[in-house]
Amino acid sequence: MTESKPRVLLIGWDAADWRFVDPLIDRGLMPTLASLRERGAWGKIATLQPMLSPMLWTSIATGKAARHHGICGFTEPLPDGSGIRPVSSVSRRCQAVWNILTQKQLRSHVVGWYASHPAEPINGTMVSNQFELPVGPAEQPWPVPPGAVHPADLSDVLAPLRVHPGEMDANAVLPLIPNAARDQQREGHRLGKAQSLLAQTVSIHTVATHLMMQDDWDFMAVYYEGIDRFAHEFMEFHPPRMDHVSDEDFENYQHVMTGVYRFHDMMLETLLKLAGEGTTVILMSDHGYLDDASRPNPDHAGPVDWHRPLGMVCVAGPSIKRGTRLFGPTLLDVTPTILRLFDLPVGADMPGRAWVEAMEDPTEPGRILSWESPSEDDGRHPADVQEDPESARAALQQLIDLGYVDPPGEDVAQTVADTRAHNDLTLARSMLSMGDTAEALEVLESLPTGFRNDAGIRAAIAQARLLCGDLEGCKAELDALADEPNSQGQRYLLLGAMSLRQGEDRRALEHYETARTHAPDNPALLSRLAGLQLRLGRPEKAAALYRQAIERAPEDATSWDGLAEAHLRLGENKQALDAALEAVGLAFGLARAHLRLSKALLAVGDTERAAEAVEACLIRSHGFVEAHEHAVAVYETLGDTDRANEHRRLADKARVARSSGS
């Protein structure tokens, strides 16, 4: 009997969050997702910074960060500098997973993916994220935007599957807004938004299911933006009632988000039936979304302020173990995991990992240097491809209507310059989050003067200078912020970090305490202050501060890791183990968290698992002197003298390398 070839279905639910989903599953309101999770692996997936959808979904599809794929905003300058357009697939600088699969003669269908217009000529079908955008009233002609579908002759087949918002009457949204008819008479703006978003979601789903039924495929990727878009319009009305929400609005719209999630569960049921039991399904989001008392007031917060750094992921299929918990998955792991499912090697230029711990065969994927070598058979656009200007204008207007971008000003050159600067700022922030500090500083320093002098950007430059060891330059930037009243918390936080670099612990403590008077609830500051208390030999104070930080940011792995260390120093080994497990679960790639876990395991007498944890640490950080020294203690406890001596040798070698700066 021959083994069937693998098939993979990737489903993107923008902003979906286990914190919202779990209560619905408990109430039996999302049975399809509950069943999928029960028969597979699942976890909280870490986003990337900054949390902008075009950048995030491109990283998901490529396995690479923004500096490598080049998608850094919702809009970008036109190639000739004559204006701006929605960010384009032509601007992506590396291959997406569907290009890699095209090289291997595997057939893909991709529907609605962010930054996918114009559709690429892959082996299979691509329907871009501009396909379903309405350009006028329902009674007017609705042509498919040029370049929205590949192959182009499918446009006539797929066009009738779209649903126009004008076809959605008040009855269509009754499951979301029970008083829809009354709301239409009282205030139709929100009802119109719901109709428009529902139409877009249905259009994407109808096209995806049509392709699944009518054409063979190896890989299917479909992106649903609905949860995120509905949340930006209606999450403020979700229970519990926020102070600024009237009783009437709360009554009218409190059920919308629950209804949206339930609708996605129904669509998921259809996708799974069409995919069949032999398909591996990856359901995921790019980030989470605030839904409780931590929600910001919409009058004082932008769209990104509602995002949470942990989204959701669930994987199930014939090669996936049931009931497995994924620890520390990130968006950059998705493409390596898909490649592993197809038994293809992962590029060494992809920083993520395949989730082999969830697979029946946990063999790590093979490695190649890169998939980026030129190929005529990868389904990418030729260099001279042109985008239709009219469809670009329509798509840009929708981004303006959504509030993602400001309307272009009359000064076209200024609009182009501002767009380029905003994208460069996103790129720099992404670089900082990935540890590419010198490169980030170079980008930040090149920003136009108007951006460069912004207090928030100046603070980012100060941070980058500090991380690069330029203490004098950092101080100069912080001095320039002395008269910025809203920047003092960040200023004193960085002054404290600079004092630490100079070995002035007491001075650092003074700066951190001053910062706390300006930002008493800042979890990053509380975590830094806790770390300093540890350094000063005050583990009790440190533990209390770490707990305060965790109370405000319960999914910050750094604070859990620090709390584990504080408990270890206090001899509270069981509490240390619990905290270390939380840290590893939140950030599997954090080497020191695995070291802390190993120390806690050794302290409670679980030496075998302590050895596994310290080896996991050293996989992520080969030259970690403290980890090698701890490994010596672990293997001596196990009676494995050879392994202990090997780590003693490696510790010495790492110590020499560190002292020589190599």
State the CATH number of the domain containing residue 15.
3.40.720.10
Positive or negative torsion for Cα 263, 267, 270, 272? negative
For residue 80, the model assigns a pLDDT of 85
Q: Are residues 351 and 430 in the same domain?
A: no
Determine the residue type at 182: R
Q: Are residues 384 and 508 in the same domain?
A: no
Mean pLDDT lowest for which of 32-36, 300-304, 642-646?
300-304
Positive or negative torsion for Cα 189, 194, 195, 197? positive
Q: Are residues 388 and 417 in the same domain?
A: no
Q: Give the whole-number percent of the chain exceeding pLDDT 70.
A: 97
Which of 383, 382, 379 minimizes the C-alpha distance to 103? 379
For residue 2, the model assigns a pLDDT of 46
Q: Are residues 30 and 144 in the same domain?
A: yes
Mean pLDDT, the chain, integer? 93
Contacts of 54 (CB under 8 A, 6+ apart): 71, 72, 73, 74, 87, 114, 115
CATH number reported for the structural domain that contains residue 449 in this entry: 1.25.40.10
Q: Are residues 235 and 161 in the same domain?
A: yes
For residue 136, the model assigns a pLDDT of 83
Q: How many residues does the chain have?
A: 662
What residue has token string 């700022």? 425
Q: Is 583 domain-assigned?
A: no
What 3-state class would DSSP assign to 582? helix
**Averaged over 314-328, what is the pLDDT?**
95
Mean pLDDT lowest for which of 125-134, 179-188, 470-479, 646-655?
179-188
Q: Is 529 domain-assigned?
A: no
**Averaged over 218-246, what is the pLDDT?**
97
Q: Are residues 509 and 443 in the same domain?
A: yes
- Which of 500, 520, 540 terminates a domain? The answer is 520
**CB-side neighbour CA atoms (13 Å) of 434:** 25
d(CA 121, CA 569): 59
Determine the residue type at 523: P
The domain tally of the chain equals 2
In this prediction the pTM is 0.92
Q: Are residues 363 and 413 in the same domain?
A: no
Residue 582, Cβ density class (10 Å: 0-12 exposed, 13-18 middle, ≥19 buried): buried
**What DSSP state is assigned to residue 315?**
E
- Which of 468, 490, 520 terminates a domain? The answer is 520
Q: Is 576 domain-assigned?
A: no
Q: Is 534 domain-assigned?
A: no
Phi, psi of 519 (to 5 degrees): -140, 70
d(CA 355, CA 127): 28
Within 141-188, strands assigned E span 149-150
Q: Is 116 domain-assigned?
A: yes
Q: Is 477 domain-assigned?
A: yes
Q: Are residues 89 and 124 in the same domain?
A: yes
Encoding tokens for residue 222?
A: 């479909």
Encoding tokens for residue 468?
A: 């690069």
What 3-state class would DSSP assign to 651? helix
Q: Is the pLDDT of residue 132 over 80?
A: yes
Write out pLDDT tens, residues 247-268: 999 999 999 999 999 999 999 9
Q: Is 594 domain-assigned?
A: no
For residue 180, the model assigns a pLDDT of 76
Which of 629, 625, 627, 630 minimizes the C-alpha distance to 654? 625
Which of 625, 582, 572, 573 minimizes the C-alpha distance to 602? 573
Contacts of 405 (CB under 8 A, 6+ apart): 74, 75, 396, 399
Q: Is the pLDDT of residue 183 over 70?
A: no
**Averaged over 379-392, what is the pLDDT?**
76
d(CA 348, CA 98): 18
Q: Are residues 413 and 383 in the same domain?
A: no
**Averaged over 373-402, what is the pLDDT?**
76
Are 324 and 37 a contacting pair, CB within 8 Å?
no
What residue has token string 């639910």? 13
Q: Are residues 421 and 388 in the same domain?
A: no
Q: Is 372 domain-assigned?
A: yes
Q: Are residues 18 and 94 in the same domain?
A: yes
Q: What angle do CA 298, 300, 301 make, to 5 degrees?
A: 65
- Which of 462, 490, 520 terminates a domain? The answer is 520
For residue 383, the model assigns a pLDDT of 74
d(CA 85, CA 164): 23
Helices (H), ranges, 454-504 = 455-467, 471-480, 488-501
Mean pLDDT lowest for which of 281-285, 333-337, 363-367?
363-367
Residue 160 domain boundaries: 7-393
d(CA 321, CA 361): 9
Q: Are residues 153 and 287 in the same domain?
A: yes
